[in-house]
Amino acid sequence: MFRPVAPLLQPSSLAIVGASETGGSGWSKVLFHNLKDAGFPARTYLINPRRDELWGEKVYDDFDSLPEPVDLALVIVPAPLVCDVMRDGLAHGLKAACIYASSFGEGRKGVGAKRGAELRGLIADSGLSVCGPNCMGMLSLARDILLYPRRRTDYMQGGHIGGIFHSGGTLGYWFTQAAQRGLGFSYAVSCGNEFGLDAADYLNFLADDPDTRIVVAMLESIRRPDAFMAAARRAFDAGKPVIVMKLGRTELGKEQAKTHTGAVAVDDDVFSAMCERYGIVRAATIDEMVDFALAFSQARLPRGPKMGIVTSSGGAVGIALDAVGDNGGVLGVLSRDTGAGIAGLITEDVDVYNPMDAGPRLAVDVESFCKVCGHFAADGDIDILAMQARVPTGRDSEEHVDSYVEILGATDKPVLGFTRMAQNADQALRDFQTQTGLPVIMGIPTMVRAMQALVRYAARREAGIPDLPEPAGSEANLAPERLAATLDGYGLMPPRQVFAETPEDAARAASRIGFPVALKIVSSDVSHKTEIGGVRLGLADENAVVAEAHDLRRVMTGHDLSGFLVQEMVDGLEMLVGLRNDPQFGPLVVVGLGGVFVELMRDVSIRLAPVDEAEASAMLDSLKGARALGAFRGRAPRDRKGLAHAIAGLSQFFLDHRHWLDEIEINPLMVLEDGAGVRAVDVRAVKRG
C-alpha cells in the first residue's frame, strides 16, 4: 500500500542532474550551496555533459561515469529530457528521484500530456521513489539536507514538525513564516503532480519517523483515500497530531444522487467526516496551521472541553466571548475557592468571571497577572487555559519569565499564551516561547480555535478510532416484506402500515389501522415520492383513500406501480437519517432535519460509519437546527436519546448489509415526545447494481 520515502528524504548520496549556473532558474546552484554550507551531509555529485567543472567541483557526463551509484537524483533538466535521464539513472542503480520540471500534462492546455503518460508508465514499471514532477523539492532538516531552491535562513532550525504540501511555493513561504514564530522542522516535501509518491506515502513515512511529532499538510486532493486513511490511523496510533488545510469545496459525485443522502454529502463534508474520524485537525488558513502547530507543540491535551481565558481588557473579553460562541466552545465555571484566591490579587472594581478582564493594574503587573492565571489553571472546572502574554517586542524587553514557568510547572493542563491581534515575530518572541514553554497564539479568535482543536483531538483520542465490523446480515432482509421488521430490530420502529395492491384493498387496510392515514406509492423507479406527487396525507375515511389511490394510479402513468402503502399518521419532528457507500471514503452516515427541504437547507452532519450513540448525539449537537429537538413554543421535547439510538442502529444495519446496499435513507424519521421513541415513516433502500 505504501511506497518507500526514505531514499528520497534520507539519501546517503545524490546527484544534481542538469547542474549549471542558470539552469532551472538557478535552482541547481542554490541546492548545491545549501548542501555545501551544511558540509555535504549527503555525498553530492554534479551531472552535466557540457561542463567539466562547476563551483569548484568535478562535473560528470552521466550516471555511468559517477564513482558510485547514488540514492537520489535531483532532476533539473527541461521536461523533454526527463524520461531519458530517468532511464539512465535506473540502469545504474538509482533509488529515488525528485523531478522539478513541469509540462507533463498539467495546466490549462495540457502541455506535454504524452510525455507525462510516458513518465507515469516508467515510474510505475520501475518502482522508483519519485517526488514530482512539477515540484520544488524537499527539506530534510533532520539530516541537514535542504533540497528546496531557497537559501536557508538563520532562524530555520531542526525540530519536530513534518510537512506535506501540494504547493511548492507555499511550502517555502509557510516554513519561513512558521520558523519566525519559533517552530522547528524535521522533513517537508513539495508533492508536485504525484506521479510516484503521494501524500499517503509521505504521511506514512512521517508517522514512523522518530524525529517527527506533528504533521502539517496543505492538500488539494487525496489520490488514494484508503492509503491516506491507513496512514492517518498510524499517525494517530503513534500520538502524532495531523493538521490539514484543504483546498477546494466541490461536489464529490458525478452521477445523480438517488437519495437526499447522496445529494447533500459533498466533497468537503466527506473530507471533514474523514478528518473527524481519524483525529485530523482541520485549519481554515495557512496562518491557522502555524498557530495550531504551536498549540500542539506543547504536547499537552485537555481532559475535557472547559476553557479558561484571562486577559487585561474588557474589549478582549468581548472578542473572546464571540469567538467561543462562534466555535462551539464551552467555558468553565470558577469555584468559590478560585474566586476567593483571585480576589486578593485584584482591585475591588474588578469582577471575577470567565473570561476575565484582570484590570489595568495587572496589565503591567506580570507577576500578579500570572498568579491569577495560576488560580484559573488550578480550578477543577478548567481543562485548558489561555492567558494574554506580555510578549517581548525587542531583545531588550525584560519579562518575568519565571512567573510563566511557574504556571506551567504547577499544572499538566494545556496553557496557551495569546496576543490580542497579530504582531511581528522576532528573536525576542522566539526566546520567550523557548524559555517559558508558553506557545504564543496570534489573535483571540485564532486562540479560541486552537483551544478547540486541542479539545476535539483529545476527545478523539479518548474515544479511539472504531473498526468497520464484518457484515453479519442477510440479503433476504432487504426484501420489501422483511425490511421494516428487520429495521425494527435495529431500533427503527415503523408506523402501523399495510401494503395494498388495489385502491379497495387500501381502503380496507386504512379501516383496520384507523383514520386518518397516509397513502404512498410503492414503486421501483421513483426515488422521491413527494416530487412526483406520490404521497397523500390525512385521509379521513375509506372513500378518500379509494379516490386518492385512483388519482395516484393516474400520476404514475408510465412508471412502475407495485401498489400502495397505507400508514398511520404520525405526529413528530421530521428528521433524515441515511447511509451511503462513498466510492472513496467508504460508508457515510448523514443526519439532518428531514422533509423536502433537506437539500435546500443543507443542515446536515456527516460521519464515517460506524457511529455509536455517543457519536450520534454529537452529530445532533452540530446541527444548526438542534434546538428543534428541545421544548419549543409549548411543544414537549423530542426523544433525543431514542433518536441517537436509531441513528446508531441504522449505521449498524447498513454495515451488516453493505455487501448488498448502496444507500439507505429514512426521510422522514419521526421523532416523538421524549420517551416515546421514533417511527421510520419512509424508508428508501437502494441495492447495489
Instruction: Note whether residue 448 is domain-resident.
Output: yes
Q: What are phi and psi of 222, to 5 degrees?
A: -125, 115
- Please give the C-alpha separations between residue 65 and each of 92, 97, 390, 647, in angstroms, as whole numbers: 10, 18, 60, 66
d(Cα 455, Cα 307) in Å, to the nearest integer? 9
Tell me if 522 sits within 8 A of 564, measured CB to CB.
Answer: yes
Q: Are residues 608 and 639 in the same domain?
A: yes
Q: Are residues 598 and 530 in the same domain?
A: no
Query: What amino acid occupies position 68?
Result: E
Assign residue 147 the CATH number of its domain. Answer: 3.40.50.720
Distance from the Cα of residue 627 to its chain's centroid? 26
What is the domain range of residue 288?
6-241+279-292
Q: What pLDDT is attached to residue 289?
A: 98
Assign residue 582 the CATH number of its domain. Answer: 3.30.470.20
Q: Are residues 418 and 326 in the same domain?
A: yes
Non-local CB neighbours of 662 within 8 Å, separated by 6+ positions: 258, 580, 581, 686, 687, 688
Report the chain's terminal Cα–Cα distance, integer Å. 28
Q: Are residues 436 and 531 in the same domain?
A: no
Q: Are residues 615 and 510 in the same domain?
A: no
Assign residue 559 the CATH number of its domain. Answer: 3.30.1490.20
The count of structural domains within the chain is 4
Q: Are residues 133 and 199 in the same domain?
A: yes
Assign residue 447 the CATH number of its domain. Answer: 3.40.50.261
Instruction: Note whether residue 489 is domain-resident.
Output: no
- Please give the C-alpha separations between residue 678 and each of 517, 649, 673, in angstroms, as whole numbers: 18, 12, 9
Q: Are residues 197 and 69 in the same domain?
A: yes
Instruction: Note whether residue 491 is domain-resident.
Output: no
- Judge if the upstream peptide bond of residue 149 is cis by omega within 30 degrees of 0: no
Residues 345-357: b if buried by 16+ CB within 10 A, e if exposed: bbeeebebebbbb
Model confidence, pTM: 0.91
Instruction: Note whether residue 334 is domain-resident.
Output: yes
Q: Are residues 343 and 438 in the same domain?
A: yes
Tell me if 451 sits within 8 A of 179, measured CB to CB.
Answer: no
User: Of the candidates 535, 568, 601, which is a domain's last residue?
Assistant: 568
Instruction: Note whether residue 254 is domain-resident.
Output: no
pLDDT along the chain (689 residues), means of 10: 96 97 83 95 97 96 97 97 97 97 84 93 95 96 95 84 96 94 97 96 98 96 94 98 85 41 62 96 97 98 98 95 96 97 92 95 91 97 95 58 94 97 89 94 97 98 95 93 94 93 94 94 81 90 95 91 92 94 93 76 90 96 91 90 98 97 94 96 90
Distance from the Cα of residue 342 to its chain's centroid? 39
Instruction: Note whether residue 490 is domain-resident.
Output: no
Instruction: Note whether residue 29 is domain-resident.
Output: yes
Distance from the Cα of residue 398 to its chain's centroid? 41
Q: What pLDDT is attached to residue 412?
A: 98
Q: Are residues 199 and 315 in the same domain?
A: no
Q: What are phi and psi of 150, to 5 degrees?
A: -145, 140
Q: E strand or H helix at 369, and its extent? A: helix 366-378
